[in-house]
């Protein structure tokens, strides 16, 4: 395929992703109570109502907190799994399995386990479920950072008398930092945007923004749902930009 055709196909794919997003932003400024794009008049009434509604703002805050906590759990576990001295195909298959399972099946299984452990509807169930969803990405990104150079430097540090913690602090973490920040950003986005698994494990006090939006869509599809999409887009974009900036700064050191 020629470079011109490659660029054309690339821009087509990007447009296919961006057009629905742009339409959601457009609809969020509708003055009507239905999901109709504004033409003659635009209004920010639904954005104001969203910010003044504790149900929506609470769900947004819970989504942000759950995503941060899930990244805080999944990234260290992914790093430890990637750095483990003994790696085999069976262990990696188990670690990567959450990325291959249907969301409904995984959510139902986690619901059963949460009930058995007495964690149904709690923050622990939500955070652990989202950490499990993000763990495959965290493992893969951490493994990308485990180069031969890293292993050589770790062995050299141990040979010079450095203990495990000092080796981790002075050698492993600085070299893995860009990959771990990238993993944190990816897990954050996976958790923040998840709706399928969250529907199963959320309780009344832990409903995230996608869950509230899904429940609203089942009863009345109004512009508030579009505003929720805009809020999700803004938070996800901000998190992605922060992760990219931190990754770039870590890699430059």
- Residue 177, token pair as written in the block: 């930092």
Residue 155: predicted pLDDT: 73
Q: List domains and CATH numbers for the chain.
A: 54-252 (1.10.3720.10)
Average pLDDT of the chain, as a whole number: 85
SS3 46: helix
User: Which of 93, 164, 88 has the alpha carbon at shortest distance from 135?
Assistant: 93
pLDDT tops 60 at residue 19: yes
Q: What is the mean pLDDT of residues 198-222?
A: 87
- Provide DSSP, 142-198: HHHH--HHHHHHHHHHHHTT--HHHHIIIIIHHHHHHHHHHHHHHHHHHHHH--HHH
List Cβ neighbours of 244 (8 Å cut-off, separation of 6 or more). 185
The pLDDT value given to residue 88: 66
Which tens digits make up the pLDDT trace of 35-51?
Answer: 778 877 888 888 999 99
What is the tens place of the pLDDT at every residue in 59-98?
A: 999 999 999 999 999 999 998 888 876 666 778 888 888 9
């Amino acid at each position: 395929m020629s470079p011109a055709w490659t660029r054309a196909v690339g821009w087509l794919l990007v447009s296919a992703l961006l057009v629905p997003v742009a339409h959601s932003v457009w609809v969020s400024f509708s003055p009507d109570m239905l999901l109709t794009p504004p033409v003659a008049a635009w209004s920010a009434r639904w954005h104001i109502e969203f910010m003044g509604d504790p149900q929506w703002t609470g769900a947004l805050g819970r989504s942000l907190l759950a995503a941060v906590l899930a990244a805080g759990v999944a990234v260290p576990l992914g790093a430890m799994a990637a750095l483990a001295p003994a790696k085999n195909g069976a262990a990696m298959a188990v670690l990567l399995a959450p990325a291959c399972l249907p969301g409904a099946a995984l959510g139902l299984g986690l619901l059963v386990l949460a009930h058995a452990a007495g964690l149904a509807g709690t923050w622990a169930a939500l955070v652990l479920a989202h950490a499990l969803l993000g763990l495959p990405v965290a493992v893969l990104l951490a493994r990308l950072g485990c180069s031969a150079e890293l292993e050589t430097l770790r062995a050299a540090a141990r040979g010079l008398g450095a203990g495990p913690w000092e080796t981790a602090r002075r050698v492993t973490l600085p070299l893995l930092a860009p990959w771990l920040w990238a993993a944190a950003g990816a897990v954050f986005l996976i958790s923040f945007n998840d709706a399928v698994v969250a529907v199963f494990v959320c309780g009344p006090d832990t409903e995230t923004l996608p869950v509230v939006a899904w429940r609203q869509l089942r009863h009345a599809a109004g512009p508030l749902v579009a505003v929720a999409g805009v809020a999700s887009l803004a938070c996800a974009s901000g998190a992605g930009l922060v992760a990219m900036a931190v990754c770039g700064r870590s890699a430059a050191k």
